[in-house]
Structure 1
C-alpha cells in the first residue's frame, strides 16, 4: 500500500475501490506501454514546453494548446469537436456535468476556463487522454512526483486550517512558507507533465508520418 508521498508503486487493487481518482489510475496498472520519457527527464526532451507549462499565466495558454494538440492527435482534423470539460475524466459534481454544459458551443472558451480554474486537472486530463489512446502505463518516477505534489497541497490545506484556529504569527509564517513551496512544486510538476505529453505526441505523430514512407521503400 502506498503510504509514503515518495512511494513509486502503482495504485494497488485494494486502493482502487477507495476513490474515483484511484479507480481512474487503476485502469492503467496493467497497460503494456509506457511514455517514451518519464516526468523526471521530460524537461530535457522538451525544455521550452516544460518552461511554458510551468510558468503562471503562460501555462494557461500551454494547457489549451496541448489539449487541442492531443485531441487532434487522437482524432486528426477534429479541432475542438471532441472536447468536454476535463475530457470527462473525473466525473461531475452537482450541476457541473462534463459533456452537458454546452461545451460544444464555445469549446475554446470552456477550455480556457478549465485551464484557469482547474489547472492541475486540465493537464492531468490531457495526459490521461493520451494514456487511454495508446494504453500507456504509469511510471514509478511519475507516481513519486505526483504523490509528492499532492501531499504538499494537502499540507498547505492543513496549515491554513491550523492558522485559522490558532491565528498567530508562527502559524501564518508556516502557512506562507508551505504555500510558496507547494506553488513552486506544482508549477514544476505541471511543466514536466506538459513536456512529457507534448514529447509523446510529437514522437507518435512523427512515427505515423515516417511509417508509410518506410513501407513504400520496403516494397
Structure 2
C-alpha cells in the first residue's frame, strides 16, 4: 500500500509544470561560493537546507521527509535535530534527494530533461564502477582492477559534483521562495500588521495602485454651485416636485 502511494506520487511528479529557477548546469555560475561549500561540506549544507525547507520548524521533521520506509519510526519527534544530523551523515544521498522531493512537491517543480540526464549518468557510472570492482575481485586481473579503481574515482567525483550542484539548486529555489530575488509573489500571505482590520477606516493600500485623485475625495466637489454645475441631466439637486405630496407620513418625527 505504501509503495503504491510512492509510485503514484512519482507519477504525479512527472506532471508538474513549474521549473527550477536554475538548472544543474548553471548553478556554479549563479552561486559559486555556495557550490564550493556544498562540495566540501555536503552533510552540513544538507542539514541547513532541510531545516530551511521546513521553515525552521523542526517539529515537522520526519526522517528522509517521509519518503523512506524508516520514516516516522526513528523517534524523530523526541530529538529531531539529532535525527537529522544522523540522516545527513549516514544517509547523505537520501537526505539530498528527500529535500529535493519536498521542494518539488511544494512548488510543483519538474526536473528538466538535462537534469535527468545528468542524474542518470551519475547513477549509471556508479553501477558500472561497482560491476568492474566485482569483476576485478573474481578474475584477479591487475588491468581490470586498475580500471575499476579509475572508474570508482571518476564516479565519486561525478557524485560529489552533482550533489553539490543539486544542493545549490535547492538553495537558490528557497532564496526565490523567501523573496531574496525581489518582491514576493502576490499570492503570498501579507504580514499581520498589513492585514485589513475592522477598526481601520480604509483597507490598506499595500499591493494596490495609488488612487488617481492622489488622496481622499472631497464632497461636495469644488465646482459645486458654480455656473454650469451641476451639468444638465444630473440627478442632483433633486428635480421639482420632490419629495412627493404626503411625505413624510403623519406622525413621523425627525
TM-score of the alignment, normalized to the shorter chain, above 0.5: yes
Native 8 Å contact 2:28 2:35 kept in 1: yes
Q: Work out the CA distance in 2 between the residues paired with 1:20 and 1:159.
A: 35
Q: Which residue of 2 aligns with 1:35?
A: 20
1:85-100 equivalences under 5 Å are 85-89=63-67, 91-92=68-69, 97-100=70-73
Poorly superposed stretches of 4+, deviation over 6 Å: 19-22
Coordinate RMSD, CA, aligned: 2.5
Per-residue CA distance 1:98-154 (angstroms, 9 max, x = gap): 112101222222222211222211111101100000111111111011000000111
Q: Which residue of 2 aligns with 1:108?
A: 81
- Measured after TM superposition, the shift of residue 44 of structure 1 is 1.3
- Measured after TM superposition, the shift of residue 22 of structure 1 is 6.6
1:76-91 equivalences under 5 Å are 78=57, 80-89=58-67, 91=68
Structure 2: state its 5+ residue gaps.
195-204, 211-254
Which protein is bigger by CA-based radius of gyration?
A: 2
TM-score normalised by structure 1 residue count: 0.78
- Structure with bigger helix share is 1
Structure 1: state its 5+ residue gaps.
1-18
Per-residue CA distance 1:138-174 (angstroms, 9 max, x = gap): 1111101100000011112101211221123212211
Identify the match of residue 48 of structure 1 among 24, 33, 43. 33
1:195-210 equivalences under 5 Å are 195-206=168-179, 209=184
- Measured after TM superposition, the shift of residue 215 of structure 1 is 3.9
Q: Work out the CA distance in 2 between the residues paired with 1:151 and 1:23.
A: 24
Q: Work out the CA distance in 2 between the residues paired with 1:125 and 1:108.
A: 16
Q: Which residue of 2 aligns with 1:16?
A: none
- 42-51 or 179-188, which moves further after superposition? 42-51
Query: RCO higher in 1 or 2 (8 Å CA, sep ≥ 6)?
Result: 1
Native 8 Å contact 2:133 2:149 kept in 1: no
Q: Work out the CA distance in 2 between the residues paired with 1:208 and 1:135.
A: 20
Q: Work out the CA distance in 2 between the residues paired with 1:42 and 1:21.
A: 29
The reply on whether 1:59 has 2:32 as its aligned counterpart is: no
Count of equivalent residues: 190
The reply on whether 1:141 has 2:114 as its aligned counterpart is: yes
Q: Which residue of 2 aligns with 1:10?
A: none
Q: Work out the CA distance in 2 between the residues paired with 1:176 and 1:21.
A: 35
